[in-house]
Structure 1
Amino acid sequence: MPGLLPWQTYVLAFGAGVYGVRYPAGAAGALAVLCVADFVLRGRDCRVPLLAVVLCAVFGFAYGTQRTPDGVAEVPGWMEARQPVLLSGVVVSAEPRPDHRLRVILEQVRCEADGAVTELPGRLTWSERDTDYRPLPGQTLRALARVQPVRNFGDPGTWDYEWYWRRQGVLWRAWPTGRAGPEWGARPEGALAGLKAALRGQVAGLLPDTRGGAMVLALTAGDRSELDQATLDATRSAGLAHTLALSGLHVGFVAAMGYFLALLAGWCWPPLLLKVPRPRLAVLFGAPLVLIYAWLGQPSASLVRASVMFGFWGLLLLQGRGRVLLDGLFFALAAILFISPLSVFDLSLQMSLAAVAGIALLYPLFRSLFAGGGPLVLRVGRWALGVLAVSVSATLGILPLSVWYFGAFAPNLLLNLVWLPALGFAVMPLGFLGMALAPVSGSAAGLLLSTSAAVADKLLWALDAVRGTGLTPVWATLRPLWPESLGFALLLVLAVLSLRGRRVSAGLAGLGLALLVLPQAWVMGLDSRDQVSLTMLDVGLGQSLVVSLPGGRRWLVDAGGGSRTFDLGEAVVGPSLTLGRPPRLDGIFLSHPDVDHSHGVPFLIERFSVGALYTNGMLPSGLTGERLRPALAARGLVPIRLSAGDAVELGSGTRVAVLHPGEGFSARRANERSLVLRPERAGRHLALLPGDVERSGVRALLDSGADLSAEVLVLPHHGSRVSFDPDFYAAVSPRVVLVSNGYLNRYGFPDPGVAAAARAAGGAVYTTARNGRVVCTWTGPEGESIVDMLY
């Protein structure tokens, strides 16, 4: 390929092979596109042997497989019983998290239960809330805890938590239980980690207790514990969240400090530049700063990898080489893949590579527009346009990854003209210098750190003001299927070559266009089939159901999970709905306002096109309600109250009948007033969706005399015994029973007696804990129901 040396093509093939360990189809497609593009774009005498490329991919696959840690082979009985155990282990690393949370990685993990000790293979992640304690590597931990295997939500195409932790050797997770806190062992003496912790403590003590102070602590010491939800929400909504997570961007800021030190040295002593050219001097000044910064930032894997990239770029500059950006990128990629091949799955590495590749490809197209001298104002304007061009280039490079992982696009590039220079030229240099002076002069360090925090506070104030005007939109997007991402990347490369005057193969452009268009044609074909489906998503101990109709119509029933803080709408429901399809819902039914059914609804209202919201007359309170009400107002949606006897037409001859609550029904608990819905088609009762209705609500349903029969039953209240009534199961007489319960949930749902009664009523029982996402499909008005599950 033009611009790529043969060995760089081999590196890409090796990376594709490693990627095939987890995603073989996508890796095979990427390898095929690489081979075709390399063959077409290289000159006849420069083409690399196809067999060599394939062998590199095979070697990458074998190497990645050999380096993949084993998963959990067996879950101990005490763990399946959710029994608290006495946990002990040795600290590997500790990461402060926002809102005073702490995440610790432990090894040599032992669990004592009923007098027996179990040594767990692999590592364990320990989570703790509301703590300011910072353990050091090598410390021991003893605590009464609940332990579970790391488990993924069983929804295809969503973030794979289990794989994320497994490739780091982490197989288990635990959290404290009971009133007694964890017992930490003695802190190692004389360790560098202790010096770092002491420096972090000094910096934290000198910073003001403001949002800006928390931001400076995160950017200088890698301690995000003081960041509050308001700061995280503001930066996320403006597409700036990445600027608070230490990465290659921040290493670039630190390296820029080395460049300005080189400028200062040349200004103070011009003869120095005759001996050491300014680019090499910048590397010599920047290298120690980058190493120190990487050490201070935990060090996180993303900082280490960014430092490796800087190291190779620095070596190439010291040697006076050309093609520094692209060649340094590939040298770094080769080294990272050799040392840690599974890093190819790391989002931060993928984003860094894509951003740098985008800049390398696209920025040269703009560079000539910003050259030249002239008055100071003109030069400043050109510099600002250059920053914008870099942002545009990087944004286009990471666009397929952004919309795939986050399902969103924030078109707020102009904010970068203020935010990034302020961080790079004020907040970080002042904070870095203040941290360096903290052990020597507290007053000078305090002044510098306070100034840095003041600048950060002003930035956050301005961001809040701009956000309040609605000028920082975040657009939900269709999440592309993997062929579409390959097609976009190929067409982007071909467009750049064409703009550079290179003749582009029409066949190769056709291949890129086909990869971009054909997957959507396939999805449209699927949606045109005459079938209705009910999908029970795996959202843990919560519930979210999707009714899909011919023509791509989709209706959602609930969107909640077992956490009041973790948004399952953003993490699971939204990504599941936008995989290959636009962010659009014909309507949402909210059965009742409890968090486990409602907490994800505000996100969907904010980001999706939603036709209507139907409720039982109640809306959520607390944090969920605080988000939902303004979202409804912004969208112009007025909740529609439903009661027994109502029906909502869904389209394609399908409707939802409302069976409960009746107009005269009253109950104190919101669960009892849950909407009980039944999708019907051509007089056929497809499924009964009873929300969290409990005994009095179930009895009211039975006493109403309504026909409750349905082919599929979603167990009320996740299979709780408080909703059990044998007459109810007899009245429904389902062939299939679905339970949204969550793996090893804290209530033990579904109750064994309830599950046994459901089976006795004639229904096969499917749970999200055991089967992941479950899809029931009816083909045609008279077709049999077909059940498909992930596991």
Structure 2
Amino acid sequence: MHKPPSLSVRPGIPPVLACALCLWASCAATFSLARECAGEAVLVVGVVSLVATIAAAILLWKRRTALAWCALLGLCAGVVCGCAGAVDLQAAQRLASCEPAARMRFEAVEDSSEGLYGMQCVARTRLEDGRTVEARLRFDDRGQPVRYGDVFQAEASLAAPAGKAAEYCWQRGIAATGTVRNVEVVERHDLFGALLAVRAQAIDALGAQGGERAAVLQALVCGARSGLDGTDVYEAFKVAGLAHVIAVSGAHLVIICALVGAVLRAARAPRAFSVGMQMVLILCYLVLSAAPVSAVRAAVMTVAGMTSFFAGRRPSSLNALAVCIIAIVATSAPAALSVSFALSALSTLGIVLFAGLAATWIGRLARLPRFAAEALALTAASSIMAQPLSSALFSQVSLVAPLANILTAPLFPLACAGGLVASLVAVFAPYLGMPLVGATGFVADALCAVVRFCAEMPFASIPVAVPLAAAMVCTVVGSVGLWLWWPKPRLLLAGGLAAAAVATALGVAFVVPGFAGDKIVMLNVGQGDAFLVRSQGAAVLVDTGNQDRLLREALARHGAYRLDAVVVTHGDDDHCGSLSSLKGTVQVGRVLLAQDALTCPCDACASLRRSAEALVGKDRVEGLAVGAGLRAGVFNLSVIWPEAFAEEGGNADSVCLLARADADGDGAPDMSALFTGDAEHAELAEMVAQGKVGRVDILKVGHHGSKNALTPELAAVLSPRVALVSVGAGNRYGHPADKTIQELAAVGARIERTDEAGDVSCELRAEGIVVR
């Protein structure tokens, strides 16, 4: 890869960058902590910090080259910015909570999306006192989805964020939540409306092809993700470590521009022409995405980072990047907590700092085509600082990312740049543009095929559970350590690191599970069910919940990277919604469903079958009839319900498993546990009447502890020593019911709930069942 010689030399850290990073960190910490503080206290801290900032600036003026004084100035200024932002947002939330219900005018600041409770979006509105605030809206009636920039009127009732939404809204700078109804979209006639019209036409032109190619191109070209979110192709991009390709981020645009620049250099295009084309590319992206804040930030980061590639002057790039960070954080304190901003800034900073080092190593150790070497170097450099944060946010690490980035290197810029050109032509000259869109669609198909190929490799990615604070410490320590070390490429060192990585991966995947003990673990996956049965290296998962990130984190916490089987009790989303997310992340032997679920025509069972077949293939999806069983080490799990479907796979048809464990190997069970899915007292009474179950040591309480889960008589018959209730904190169903909790307490059961205790492990030991 042709680079100026200076790029292989360790860069100096300019003082302004130290100031920017310290300002960002202190602003993020201050703004986050201020949510729990009174406005007066925040104001006092802000004033004191402002005085300290002025003092630090004076001291810096006398010691202009002192890196430490620049860092101190950034820390003090960050506290000021965080306090100012917190005071302003607290005032906005107070005003929004006093706003009377009325018909209001909104402007969407993002595309609407389907959530658990219907369509929702974030929109900007003006309060009675003239203040403009952002509100998180839920649409009470289903209608035409709104797009970013749409202006609409609706009957609205606003309130200050509360409960689980409060932290999310604070981090986004959202002042209110509310419900809207009778929505009426208002046509725009301003310049921004014209820009939005171009974006809408481009999205429609790309979407005319249908299928996953349309969804991928819409995300790449227009930043429109509504067609992509929740699809299996998006999961494949994440598993392959390519989520940045279809995200609005600085790394996304830097990599596109750098690769397009590489193609133009290979064609011996003049440098001025190359730079001009890259700027045009960025401008086109801003037009077709209608310049949301995230895209503008990404473009600014890209321009700052590009200078190291067309000018070979990293000090200029670092200074420009630092100025961008300072400007963004100083003008918007919530931006310091923005995920897109953090990934953009860290990725771009990693590219500017370490792309030369990565290129030197790759050029010395491997003979690769130029485009492959550049793609791998850019990706490796961007990952050095962004990967820990990405792992904490998405709870997985891709092991095939290097290969995936090499294989997609020629397709990614072609699909993106080609899509930009094709969609713009299609907007203004449809007869010429639509054939170009179709041709770009074939490139998108090839891109998706390569991504799927990588994502379907064994151990393509692994689940991880990394606390956010630990991820940031890892980023700081790792990047500073690498900058200080700046290792020269050596084959022996590379071989040692590779061998250590392989040994660690094999140990984690195959050796560590053997020491996990014999246990049943209730995994904390929110308002859903997921139970892990482990013994002697074997592992069976009973249900998956429906929150992918929580499931991956829970499996990672317990080192479960391989599952012999996944048993799905029934087709409700909170029991099987995350089944497909295991693909490429956890190795699954087979998926087991109720026998009737294999032929049931209802939508829930049909969707469940599709997810199961996509995960393991049709031949490894098996039915479970009453009397069937499976082993997991010392555990023998037998199916005791249902005899046949009575509710087309509903709650009453939940697969119920009676697990018995012979821990000492004497042939007699030492412990028993009953898994009930969402079966309630009517089904349990029938099982008891038929003599299929009696007293048990561990009871997975049915239907998340609903009021119909048990009766006093059933609780007395089962008399569990431990009762496990998998339930989400503050759920809208009121689970678990006080009645059920009282019935369990009356028989002396130890009651453990995920909303209070998180994961709950019941381990078999010589002294009995140890609950942790």
One fold, TM greater than 0.5?
A: yes
Distance 1:103 1:668 in 2: 32
Q: How does 1:175-186 map to 2 (within 5 A)?
A: 182-184=182-184, 186=186
For 1:712 and 1:72, locate their aligned partners in 2 and report how far apart those are by CA, in whole Å: 50
2:660 equivalent to 1:660: no
SS at the partner of 1:167? helix
Deviation at 1:699, TM superposition (A): 1.7
Change (3 A) 1:752 1:170: farther
Secondary structure of the corresponding residue to residue 607 of structure 1:
coil
In 1, Cα distance between the equivalents of 2:581 and 2:766?
34
Give 2:171's aligned residue: 167
Task: Give the match's secondary structure for 2:713.
Answer: helix
Aligned pairs for 1:343-742 within 5 A = 343-365=335-357, 382=370, 385-404=373-392, 405-409=394-398, 410=400, 411-432=403-424, 434=425, 438=427, 442=428, 445-466=429-450, 473=457, 475-479=460-464, 481=466, 490=477, 532=519, 534-540=521-527, 542-547=528-533, 554-561=539-546, 568=547, 570-579=548-557, 581=559, 583-604=561-582, 606-610=584-588, 613-619=591-597, 621-633=605-617, 637=620, 639=622, 641=624, 643=626, 650-651=632-633, 655-656=635-636, 658=638, 660-661=640-641, 667=646, 670=649, 671-673=651-653, 674-678=655-659, 680=661, 685=671, 687-705=673-691, 708-710=694-696, 712-734=698-720, 737-742=723-728
Return closer, same or farther for 1:630/1:222 CA change in 2, 3 Å cut-off.
closer
Partners in 2 of 1:650 and 1:320 — Cα distance?
59
| TM-score, length of structure 1 as denominator length | 0.69
Q: Deviations over 1:324-379 (max 9, x none)?
A: 333322222232232334434433233323332333344324667999xxxxxxxx
- Which whole-Å deviations, capped at 9, do the CAs of 1:133-168 have from their partners, x for residues lacking one? 5485664322799x996765xxxxxxxx86444311
Q: Is the 8 A contact 2:569 2:677 kept in 1?
A: yes
- For 2:16 and 2:747, the matched residues in 1 are separated by 64
Please report how far the alpha carbon of residue 210 of structure 1 lies from its aligned counterpart in structure 2 after TM superposition: 0.5
Q: Distance in 2 between matches of 1:55 and 1:144?
A: 43
Gaps of 5+ in 2: 1-9, 34-62, 95-99, 128-132, 599-604, 664-668
1:101-156 Cα distance to aligned partner (Å, 9 max, x none): 9643246699xxxxxxxxxx9722335866255485664322799x996765xxxx
In structure 2, the CA distance between the partners of 1:478 and 1:719, relative to structure 1 (3 Å rule), is: closer
Q: 1:250 to 1:285 in 2, by over 3 A?
A: same
The alignment of Structure 1 onto Structure 2 pairs a total of residues equal to 680
Q: 1:396 to 1:13 in 2, by over 3 A?
A: closer
Contact 1:583 1:608 in 2 (8 A): yes
Q: Do the aligned residues in 1 keep the contact of 2:219 with 2:225 (CA within 8 Å)?
A: yes
Change (3 A) 1:242 1:734: same
User: Unpaired segments of 5 or more residues in structure 1?
Assistant: 25-44, 75-84, 111-120, 153-160, 268-272, 372-379, 562-567
Structure 2 partner of 1:116: none
**Which amino acid counterpart does residue 8 of structure 1 have in structure 2?**
L
Alignment of 1:101-250 (within 5 A): 103-106=120-123, 123-126=135-138, 131-134=144-147, 136=149, 139-142=152-155, 163-170=167-174, 182-184=182-184, 186-187=186-187, 190-203=189-202, 209-211=208-210, 217-225=218-226, 229=231, 232=234, 235-236=237-238, 239-248=241-250
Query: Relative to structure 1, is the Cα distance of residues 710 and 337 closer, same or farther in structure 2, using a 3 angstrom cutoff?
Result: farther
% same residue: 21
Cα displacement string for residues 541-580 of structure 1 (whole angstroms, at most 9, x for unaligned residues): x31123466x88654221133xxxxxx3x33212321248
Match in the other structure for 1:11: 20
Aligned-partner residue type, residue 534 of structure 1: V
Residue in structure 2 matched with residue 377 of structure 1 by the alignment: none
Contact kept, 8 Å, 1:531 with 1:778, in 2: the verdict is yes
Match of 1:157 in 2: none
In structure 2, C-alpha distance between the alignment counterparts of 1:709 and 1:167, rounded to whole Å: 48
The superposition leaves residues 420-474 of structure 1 with CA deviations (integer Å, 9 ceiling, x where unpaired) of 2313542223434x27xx5xxx4xx324532441232111332455467678647
**Deviation readout 1:211-263 (Å, 9 max, x if unpaired):** 45665555554444555946645655655443333333564489789989x99
2:289 paired residue number? 297
1:270 matched to which residue of 2?
none
2:450 and 2:281 map into 1 onto residues whose CA distance is 34
Q: Secondary structure at the match of 1:559?
A: coil
Task: Determine if contact 1:207/1:213 at 8 Å carries over to the other structure.
Answer: yes
In structure 2, the CA distance between the partners of 1:59 and 1:545, relative to structure 1 (3 Å rule), is farther
Please tell me the residue identity of whatever aligns with 2:624.
R
Deviation at 1:198, TM superposition (A): 2.9
Kindly indicate whether residue 330 of structure 2 is the aligned counterpart of residue 338 of structure 1. Answer: yes
Structure 2 letter corresponding to 1:660: I
Structure 1 residue 752: Cα displacement: 5.2
Q: How many Å separate the matches in 1 of 2:167 and 2:14? A: 33
Which residue number corresponds to residue 155 of structure 1? none
1:324 and 2:329 equivalent? no
Equivalent residues in 2 for 1:761-776, closer than 5 Å: 761-763=747-749, 767-768=753-754, 771=756, 773-776=758-761
| Counterpart pick for 2:85 among 67, 73, 92 | 67
Let me know the Cα RMSD of the aligned residues. Answer: 5.4
Choose the corresponding residue for 2:108, options 46, 69, 93: 93
Cα distance in structure 1, aligned partners of 2:767 and 2:730: 38
In structure 2, C-alpha distance between the alignment counterparts of 1:255 and 1:605, rounded to whole Å: 32
Q: Partners of 1:364 and 1:625 in 2: how far apart? A: 48
2:97 match: none
User: 1:632-667: per-residue Cα shift (whole Å, max 9, x none)?
Assistant: 238x746473645x775544xx535547238x6775
Distance change (3 Å), C-alpha of 1:638 and 1:454: closer
Is the contact between residue 707 and residue 738 of structure 2 (CA under 8 Å) also seen in structure 1?
A: no
1:28 maps to none
Maintained 8 Å contact 2:596/2:644: no
Q: CA deviation at 1:703?
A: 1.4
Contact kept? 2:235, 2:581, Cα under 8 Å: no
- Judged with a 3 Å threshold, the aligned counterparts in structure 2 of structure 1 residues 633 and 321 are, in CA distance, closer, same or farther, namely closer
SS in structure 2 of the partner of residue 67 of structure 1: helix
